[in-house]
Amino acid sequence: MAERFYFDTSIWLDFYEKRGKNGEAAFKLIVKIIKEDWIIGYSDVNIKEFKNLGYSQEQINELFRIVKPNNIKRLHIHKEQINQANKISKTKDVPRIDVLQAILSRDNDFQLISRDKHFEKLKNITHARIPEEFI
């Protein structure tokens, strides 16, 4: 079975903005994913965060085009996941968007890739790992 990864938006940005060592690690993982014919998942959460940071739809499309069409998958968000994220966000004091990404990773059996410390509070949902663990 192919490996499946869900990148937190910051990992995509590390790659796209060439952010030093973090950008290099993200790049190496993306290259490995392409070579190994693995899958990267993304969702409307990523798209919304990119747009909130001022990225155009064309820039977002350009970013996702680095991965071959058969190696990228859009994960759909369901109302139950949003409701669960809202509840957990309040009880754990973690941004709702991060909780939703953890839930999406878990529910779709994708390994969450992130450097965000918020995910440490969400280990009961999924365990976030950094790119270096896979390169």
Contact yes or no for 112/126 (Cβ under 8 A) = yes
28 with 22: CB under 8 angstroms? no
Confidence (pLDDT) at 2: 57
In this prediction, residue 27 has a pLDDT band, given cuts at 50, 70 and 90, of very high
- Predicted TM-score of the model (pTM): 0.92
Tell me: the pLDDT tens digits for 8-20? 999 999 999 999 9
Q: What is the pLDDT of residues 90-124, one digit of tens each?
A: 999 999 999 999 999 999 999 999 999 989 999 99
Q: How far is CA 130 from CA 61, 108, 112, in A?
A: 24, 19, 8
Q: How do residues 46-78 score in pLDDT, each as one tens digit?
A: 999 999 999 999 999 999 999 989 899 999 999
Does domain 4-133 bear CATH number 3.40.50.1010? Answer: yes
User: Residue ranges per domain, the chain?
Assistant: 4-133
CA 25 to chain centre: 15
